[in-house]
Structures are given as C-alpha cells and as structure tokens.
Amino acid sequence: MDIIFLRDLRIDTVIGIYDWERRIRQTISLDLEMAADIRKAAASDAIEDTLNYKAVAKRLIEFVEGSEFQLVETLAERCASLVLEEFDVPWIRLTLNKTGAVRGARDVGVIIERGTRS
C-alpha cells in the first residue's frame, strides 16, 4: 500500500459547544494519510491515474468552511467519510487539530482511521 498525505491543511470554521464558539470562526488543522496505489500514475506520469491531493484539499476546504459542528469528533468523521466516498479511497487516517482549545496545551484533537488498510 502506498500513502498520499496532506499535512496541516488549515481551515476556518464554526466549531465548538460554547455560545461564544458558535459566534466566531476558529482554525482547525487536518493531517490526512490516504491509501492509494501509485504505480499506474508513476508509469504514466498522468494526474488522472492518481489520487489528486489538490482536489481532496479543495473539497475538504469547501466542506469544512460551510460546516457548523459542535464536536471535533463529528467533523473528523464527516471529513473521513467524504474522502472515502467521493475519492474512492480504501483507507484513511485523519488527524483533526483544534489548536488553542485547551489553555496550556499546544494541540488538542482526534485521530481516526477508517476503511481497510491493505
């Protein structure tokens, strides 16, 4: 299995359970590892033969910017499902970081894996 990854994709969104969080946009950061077989693309040197990480990033930006979830768990699950379904990815590991959510901690968030890793 090969892995195509995106690191530190920063997106502004409404996220949180507190009233003040519902009135502002906060920046979340996504790290993604996605299973892909890159052999065909390596042989053809054609974007059509691989997982287009720019297309994945643009779709996630569109989705997250328009979302208003309360929990990072929900947002992470929906982002992972979107990539699995819309980009025909068999496996994904997604880290969602809500920087600054806890005073004294640099990072807080969730890491989920979905699909079948082969």
Active site residue 98: yes
* Phi, psi at 96, each rounded to 5°: -115, 120
Per DSSP, the chain holds a count of helices (H) and strands (E) of: 4, 4
Collapsed DSSP state (helix, strand, coil) of residue 1: coil
Phi-psi category of 88—alpha, beta or left, where left has phi over 0 and alpha has psi -120 to 50? left
Q: Which of 40, 54, 58, 98 is catalytic?
A: 98
Residue 80 phi, psi (nearest 5): -65, -45
Query: Catalytic residue numbers?
Result: 98
